[in-house]
Amino acid sequence: MSEHPLLIAEGLGKNYGARLGCRDVSLEVYPGEVLAVVGESGSGKSTLLGLLSTELTPTAGRVSYRLRDGRLADLSTLSAAERRLLMRTDWGLIRQNPADGLRMAVSAGGNVGERLMAVGWRHYGQIRAEALDWLAKVEIAGDRIDDDPRAFSGGMRQRLQIARNLVTRPRLVFMDEPTGGLDVSVQARLLDLIRGLVSDLGLAVIIVTHDLAVARLLSHRMVVMRQGRVIETGLTDQVLDDPREPYTQLLVSSVLAA
């Protein structure tokens, strides 16, 4: 792993009116590293992900990101257009509900091709060939390329969302409960697929999950959140096998995990 962090959060906080979303979160993510954010429902995981991906505006603190030219940029200083470009090219965002991350009335090939066009691809034949290649990578048969995702199962939709996000070879991918809401057997296959792609492409990933098995399988490091704060952080195996905090011990013994 590179010695320079790809993303740095410092003192991040977010209030929703009087309600605390998260508070004083500092973390770093290195290139090629998978960081899991775990905690029970309401602990602030989605809020933190929203802040890191600039979908939410922090009440306190800042997020910096290392651009492709090596410059570390405070994301709040980028223009809306620069942030959009980052989101379309250098970042991926995989949502729990694929319908929120796909264009449901656009063909599978179009969903993948659109991201390529955003990074400058223009040749129709090449875009279609690359889209076909990516459908194969996510185990969607090539003869479904002209179907729109409304005709797909939940698992297929999620795999299509993954193809759409990864086709531009992003350096950082945000994932919000990517296997939530799917059958257990579908989840297991999807996790295998995600794990393979993340490692083949050397992606950095920040994944939010309440499922410690997902964190165990995918992540190198994890942060445990409780009531909006990070209460424990460390190598995934260390945290899960030898949790320091009583709350993490409860989580691990699955008393709170359901």
Ligand X SMILES: Nc1ncnc2c1ncn2[C@@H]1O[C@H](COP(=O)(O)OP(=O)(O)OP(=O)(O)O)[C@@H](O)[C@H]1O
- State the residues that interact with ligand X by CB under 6 A: 16, 19, 21, 39, 41-47, 210
Cβ-based nearer residue to ligand X, 59 or 107: 59
Cβ-based nearer residue to ligand X, 157 or 226: 226
Residue 58 CB, shortest distance to ligand X, in Å, is 13
Residue 218 CB, shortest distance to ligand X, in Å, is 17
Distances (CA, A) of 42 to 26, 66, 197, 239: 19, 30, 30, 21
Residue 230, number of CB atoms within 10 A of its CB: 22
* Pairwise CA distance, residues 234 & 243, whole Å: 9
Residue 21 CB, shortest distance to ligand X, in Å, is 4
Q: Closest Cα partner for 65 from 55, 77, 57?
A: 77
Residue 41 CB, shortest distance to ligand X, in Å, is 3
Cβ-based nearer residue to ligand X, 52 or 173: 52
Per-state percent for the chain, helix, strand, coil, to nearest 5: 40, 25, 35
Cβ-based nearer residue to ligand X, 29 or 223: 223
Query: How many Cα neighbours within 13 Å face the side chain of 243?
Result: 17
